[in-house]
Amino acid sequence: MKRRALDDMNCSIAQTLDVVGDSWTLLIVRDALFDVTRFDDFQRRLDIPRTTLSSRLTTLVEHGVMERRPHESTPARHDYVLTPKGRALHPVVVSMLQWGDAWSSLPEPPVTLVDADTDAEIDPVYIDRNSGKPLTELNIQRRHN
């Protein structure tokens, strides 16, 4: 019922929430972005009930966010890997990471983002490609098309 309501809204944000508007789902995507692929690894890291994990993975596969691949060494098992559509969720995960770093009650950021190729720290900031300004400097409004 709720799912269909979101899916019916003519709003890109509601459409996104229809796919990932569930906390477990976004934590699965988080771990998948950082190269977790096996059911048992997701289960142990998230401490999530197996039936819940199974149903969330199935939904993500149905939405084309993840795909199931035969496991390299044990073909009877599967890896769960993000598709390009799934990898494109990284700004959602990064923006949540930054907000939690800045505003949650955690004493310090538990994680630093780095470029695995150079080991350099990454400091993500949202800018407007047209003006070069950080979004915080802009008075953002929406115009309906």
Of 13, 41, 72, 73, the one binding its own copies by CB under 8 A: 13
Q: Which is nearer to its own copies, 73 or 136 (CB)?
A: 136
Bridge partners of 66, per DSSP, are 82
Residues 36-65 contacting its own copies, CB under 8 A: 47
Of 17, 41, 43, 78, the one binding its own copies by CB under 8 A: 17
Q: Which is nearer to its own copies, 73 or 105 (CB)?
A: 105
Q: Which is nearer to its own copies, 38 or 90 (CB)?
A: 90
Instruction: Write out the H or E segment, with its range, that includes residue 68.
Output: strand 66-70
Our CA angle for 27, 31, 111, nearest 5°, is 95
Q: What is the separation, in whole angstroms, between the first and last Cα of the chain? A: 27
Residues 95-114 contacting its own copies, CB under 8 A: 95-106, 108-114
Minimum distance between the CB of residue 105 and its own copies, rounded to whole angstroms? 8
Per the rule left: phi > 0, alpha: psi between -120 and 50, beta: everything else, 29 is alpha
